[in-house]
Amino acid sequence: MASKTKEPRPARPTPRGWPGPGGGMVGYVDPAPEWRGTSVQVCGLWPFGAGAGTPMVGVPLGRDLDSGATVCCDPVSWFTRTGLLANPSMFVLGRPGLGKSTVVRRMALGLAGYGVHPLIFGDLKPDYTDLIRAIGGQVISLGRGRGNLNVLDPGESVQAAARLTGEARHRLLADVHGRRLHMVSALITILRSAPPTDREETILSAALNVLDDRHGPDRVPVLGDLVRVIKDAPEPVRAVALDRGDIDRYRDITENLEASLTALLGDGRLGGTFASPTTEPMKLDRPVCFDVSGIDDSEQLLQAAALLSCWSYGFGAVSAAHALADAGLEPQRNYFLVMDELWRVLQAGRGLVDRVNALTRLDRQRGVGLAMITHSLDDLLALPTEEDRTKAKGFVERAGMVICAGLPPAEMPQLSQVVELTEAEKRLLVDWSTPPAWDGASGRNGTPPGLGNFLIKVGSRPGIPLHVDLTAAELEVNNTNKRWNRPTQR
């Protein structure tokens, strides 16, 4: 009878333990927990460094969905410190409720820590007021009965010009004049749903020059003063009106312009929000948020006017700050501008695309990062004229980076025309737009599958898919559903 020989045990265990009877080999090994930290924090725990597949420069934004690596990203850092972007700007697209404002708030918070001041020129929900207050910034409220913003107020620009000399002073004053002219024209465009004529803009420009001569730097004029100048018919204004020496002809030429300006003084659709002295001037040495959430959504024209006014006033303040810095009179400051709900302005009236186009063309030398946010390319392509649609699409094409949240399938053909997307990236964005599952037990929707997921696209480079998780400190300032929060019932 043959005897059974015992199988020799291996010299050392396998990765799953000792094999064979009594060896205790397991079928599954739980992966060890992993943590990430900077080289300063964990250098003594793990001395071996390994490169990540994503940039590690900028605001820590989230984790890569493929590799789990930390993704650091913001348009300012990627432009100034890595050279990955041609200009420090980004365009954010995505369906509502997936976290577009959240990812921009994360960037704004991180950049504030780097010394870059966030500026929110028109917060409609509001999404940014708590964050700006939390980091010691200034919140300016606008709306009926809440606060006013005089569109003829040059802000800090006149005081800055008084400290400058020569060509720098001349450039800043010319910039002030151009911005005020553009803003008055924009309000007229919103009111009429059509831009003023070339002759009317020339009359406005001449009237603004007369207005400055009358008031000087000691008193800031308001729209009522501009109407008074046009009514008084001074010679410089009559000359550009081409009245041929006939005052009755002058009255006929300026009647429609005078009527539009009078409608802005308080009793019209836009109220007196932009025709009264500025309630709270903007400060240049801290983060700033213009809170226009008090304007009801039904007042779309007033919302559009408020956003444009905030942008014009804010950009003027930025120009003044840089003029003083260039002259060595103030420290150099960098800003991160957030232009949320872009679609509201673009669809408010014909000609407003040109106004926004002029405001958004900030060159790279100004030390300003820019974030533009909207829901869909349809917001840009729903404009009435082909010319406006082409200009609006250029907002995306000129952006240094495009960040996409979940988007519907119908969006892909249009998006592919301005952003190079692979088929896998398109499927990813469509999957993220899938509605959440209905939980029959609790009677509530589940978490949307694309909540907090984003795809970063820079030119033709492969996109970086990432997920953004909020820290405990961020949860309170990111609560956009405060109106629905109720005390716990006992």
231-245, pLDDT tens digit by residue? 999 999 999 999 999
Using CA atoms, how far apart are residues 325 and 365, in angstroms rounded to an integer? 13
- Taking alpha carbons only, the member of 87, 36, 77 closest to residue 55 is 77
Q: Decide: helix, strand or coil at residue 374.
A: strand
In angstroms and rounded to an integer, the radius of gyration of the C-alpha atoms of the chain is: 29
Using CA atoms, how far apart are residues 93 and 375, in angstroms rounded to an integer? 5
Place of tokens 């400190």: 473
Using a 10 angstrom Cβ sphere, with 0-12 exposed, 13-18 middle and 19 or more buried, the burial of residue 287 is: buried
Residue 472 burial (CB count, 10 A): 6
For residue 182, what pLDDT is reported? 87
What distances in angstroms separate CA 257 from CA 1, 42, 203, 263, 355, one per listed residue? Answer: 118, 67, 9, 10, 19
For residue 304, what pLDDT is reported? 81
For residue 363, what pLDDT is reported? 46
Name beta bridge partners: 454.
466
Please identify every stretch of the chain with a pLDDT value under 50, giving residue numbers as ranges: 363, 484, 487-490
Using CA atoms, how far apart are residues 362 and 369, in angstroms rounded to an integer? 9
b/e sequence 24-33, b meaning 16+ C-beta within 10 Å: eeeeeeeeee
Using CA atoms, how far apart are residues 118 and 107, in angstroms rounded to an integer? 9
Using CA atoms, how far apart are residues 439 and 429, in angstroms rounded to an integer? 24
211, 221 Cβ separation under 8 angstroms? yes
- Taking alpha carbons only, the member of 40, 69, 75 closest to residue 398 is 75
475, 106 Cβ separation under 8 angstroms? no
pLDDT tens track for 345-378: 777 656 567 767 765 665 455 678 889 888 888 8
Place of tokens 């300026």: 254
Using CA atoms, how far apart are residues 121 and 405, in angstroms rounded to an integer? 23
Backbone angles phi, psi at 467, to 5 degrees: -120, 135
| CA–centroid distance for 230 within its chain | 36
- Taking alpha carbons only, the member of 353, 327, 326 closest to residue 342 is 353
H/E stretch holding 137 reads none
Query: 13 Cβ partners below 8 Å, 6+ apart?
Result: 19, 23, 25
What one-character DSSP code corresponds to residue 282? P
For residue 105, what pLDDT is reported? 93
